Amino acid sequence: MSQTIYQSFGYILPETILSVFFVLTLLTSIVGKRRSKYLPAYMALLGFVIAGIFVLNQMGTDELVFSGMYAVDPFSWFFKVIFLVAGILIILFSLQSRELEATATKYAEYFSLIISLTIGAFFMAGATNLLMMYLSLELVSISSYILSGFTKESARADEASLKYVIYGAFSSGLMLYGISLLYGLTGETNLYAFNQTLAIGGIQRITILIAVVLILAGLGYKISAVPFHFWTPDVYEGAPITVTAFLSVTSKAAGFAMLMRFFKIGFIDVGAQPVVAGMWEIFKGFRWTDIIAALSVLTMTIGNLVALWQTNIKRLLAYSSIAHAGYILMGFVTLSNFGMSAMLMYFVAYLLMNLGAFYVVMLVANKYHTENIEDYKGLGYRSPYVAFALTVFLFSLTGIPPTFGFIGKFYLFAALIHTNYIWLAIVGVINSVISLYYYLNIARNMYLRQPSETSRISFDFGTNLLMTLLIVPNILLMLYFSPVLAWAQNSVTMFGIR
């Protein structure tokens, strides 16, 4: 249970390690050759690996530390693993990014910012206090503002970062205002205390509603849910690909972790006896599920529909990631552990397929100097393996066997059917059919059309290896998804909640 402050420090070792390496990585700019990317990258990798060891050590821990500020529980543990894997992959990607070479003198800062963003994400996943939520969200945001404008010679990146920072600051302002209202209502910033206050009752719901909607604006911005998604395409398109990839996974997952924890801890009616095991009851009179269902439908539909029109693959993936946020939100609507585990499963899938897709996009941008879908013509003949990889990732994103994306979607729909949200499931499947069209459009360009130039472009062994490392789990986990499922089911436990 609750730990003293002194004891508490033992539980944030991974975060501490990352912070240390954040500084160490920054310092490499003084030590090493200024233009070398390897030293800071390896330093950051080392940090991630060591932090990873400590994270793995925390497996099964279920504690609330720092006087209720921060939970180290299976739920946050799950996300931490995701963040670490994403971080490591992004570092590996970044080593190959041609875009970043323009800012060769700032590799140390770049990699350290990746660490800082991860730290923020860690805290987001575990924050059980509104203040912590706000601060960690800001840490992630500020890191991402800088990262997205990192290649500042690129006008696109500058624009992206400006838009991002304005939108982000504004959204967090709204969220803060909402938090202040919640504080006024309950006198607490701690979610557990907040829950208890609600349990006592007597609080006007309409005030809570506006407060929560304002908070939702902040969270929605992080997970890019419609109508708070507008920044997403612009920023994703403008930012360097590696950063986009990173944002699309880590930042979004962190946002989801926070959203889930906020609603689950804040509004769950612990006293209510659920009809079906694993369902939660939200305090009577709150219609969060309806709101989230509406957001979910809007998010996936708009994301998919607009994606149909995109010609830039990064932008397309941005919209697709919006749509995926919509899919994931569906799991939350069910208000059940089942839905939650499905969401967690989906994150694993999403991590693998989205990062994979962005990786391929980066490789293509490196060698073919284009992000235009039209220019993917004949890629299947010019660089077969890369095209194959992208195809796998795209089908995974669509959710077609034999890819892990299918299992992700499968469990989401399962959760919906389980809780009789059939209409939402139907919306979901129709959306995934629509999404097929634009994903296939890329595949079509790669295979069904002839390139104007036919010379083959091959990639080095390391690249292929990394790609294989991404492809294999995408397929293998479909063929045997037990471990992921078990992991996801184990991870729905938040501290103090069934």
Partner 1 sequence: MNLHVGLTDFLIVSAILFSLGIYGVVTRKNAIMVLMGIELILNSANLNFVAFTRFGLMNLTGQVVAVFVIILAAAEAAVLLAIVLNIHQQLNTVNVDEVDKLKN
Partner 2 sequence: MTLLHLAIAVLFLPLSGFTLLIFFGKKIRRSDLVETAILFVALAFSLYIMIEKLFILHLGTLDLTFRWIDIGALVGHPGFVLDLGIAIDNITAIMLVVVTLISSLVHLFSLGYMHDDIRYTRYYAYLGFFSFSMLGIVLSNNILMMYVFWELVGISSYLLIGHWFEKKSASDAGKKAFIVNRVGDVGFFIGIMIVFTSLHTVLFSGIFKGIAAGQLSGPLLTAAGILIFCGAVGKSAQFPLHVWLPDAMEGPTPVSALIHAATMVAAGVYLVARVYPMLDADALTVIAYIGAMTAFLAATIAITQNDIKKVLAYSTISQLGYMILGLGVGAYSAGFFHLVTHAAFKAGLFLGSGSVIYAMHHEQDMRNMGGLRKKMPITYWTFVIFSLSISGIPLTSGFLSKDSILGGALAYGMLSGNYIIPVLGYGVVFLTAFYMFRLIIVTFHGEPRDLHKFEHAKESPAVMTIPLIVLASLSLFIFYTFNPFSPESSWIMKDVVKPESVVPAAQSRGWSKPAVIETAMSPTASSTSSQAQSGTKSVTYYEEALEESHYFGMGLSLTLAFLGILAAFIIYHWKKIDAEKLKQSVKPVYTFLLNKWYFDELYGATVVAGTVRLSRMMAWFDGHIIDGIVNGAATVTRGASTLSGQFDHYVVDGLVNFSARFTGLLGRGARQVQTGKIQTYIVFALLGVIIIFFAFRQF
Partner 3 sequence: MNWYDIIFYAFAVITVVSAVGVVFSRNILYAAFSLLFTFFGIAALYVLLTADFIAVTQILLYVGGILVLIIFGVMLTSRAFNVEVKRGFLKRIPAVFVTAALAGTLIGVLTTTRWPSVNFLPYEETARPIGVLLMTQFVLPFELASILLLVALVGAVIIARREKEKRA
Decide which of partner 1, partner 3, partner 2, none touches 113; Cβ closer than 5 to 8 Å per partner kind: partner 3
End-to-end CA distance of the chain: 15
Residue 124 within binding range of partner 1, rule CB under 8 A: no
Of 98, 370, 375, 348, the C-alpha closest to 242 is: 98
Residue 146 within binding range of partner 3, rule CB under 8 A: yes
Decide which of partner 2, partner 3, partner 1, none touches 286; Cβ closer than 5 to 8 Å per partner kind: partner 2
Alpha-carbon dihedral sign for residues 448, 452, 455, 457: negative
Site map 204..223 versus partner 1, x via CB under 8 A: --------------------
Total Cβ atoms within 10 A of residue 187: 10
* Structure tokens belonging to residue 153: 């010679």
Q: How far is the CB of 338 from partner 2 (least distance, A)?
A: 25
Site map 199..228 versus partner 3, x via CB under 8 A: ----xx-xx--x------------------
Of 240, 226, 242, the C-alpha closest to 150 is: 240
Between CA 463 and CA 469 the distance in angstroms is 10
Decide which of partner 1, partner 2, partner 3, none touches 188; Cβ closer than 5 to 8 Å per partner kind: partner 1
Contact stretch for partner 2 (CB under 8 A) within 12-20, 117-125, 147-155, 285-293: 285-293
What single string gives the DSSP state of each residue in 159-198?
HHHHHHHHHHHHHHHHHHHHHHHHHHHHS--BHHHHHHHH
Map residue 282 onto helix, strand or coil. Answer: strand
* Structure tokens belonging to residue 296: 């979910």
Alpha-carbon dihedral sign for residues 326, 332, 334, 337: positive
Contact stretch for partner 2 (CB under 8 A) within 143-151, 189-197, 284-292, 336-344: 284-292
Alpha-carbon dihedral sign for residues 293, 298, 303, 308: positive
Residue 161 within binding range of partner 1, rule CB under 8 A: yes
User: Which member of 145, 236, 263, 421 binds partner 3 (CB under 8 A)?
Assistant: 145
Contact stretch for partner 3 (CB under 8 A) within 125-133, 215-223, 381-389, 408-416: 125-133
User: Which member of 2, 7, 33, 152 binds partner 3 (CB under 8 A)?
Assistant: 152
Q: Which residue has the tokens 């472009």?
A: 457
User: Which member of 149, 218, 220, 326 binds partner 3 (CB under 8 A)?
Assistant: 149
Q: Name the helix (H) or strand (E) containing 64.
A: strand 63-65
Alpha-carbon dihedral sign for residues 280, 285, 286, 291: positive
Q: Which residues would be at the binding site for partner 3 (CB under 8 A)? A: 5, 8, 12, 19, 22-23, 26, 65-67, 69-70, 105-106, 109, 112-113, 116, 119, 123, 129, 131-132, 135-136, 138-139, 142-143, 145-146, 149-150, 152-153, 161, 181, 184-187, 203-204, 206-207, 210
Q: Which residues would be at the binding site for partner 1 (CB under 8 A)? A: 131, 134-135, 138, 142, 145-146, 149, 152-153, 155-156, 158-163, 165-166, 169-170, 172-174, 176-177, 179-181, 183-184, 187-189, 233-234, 237-238, 309
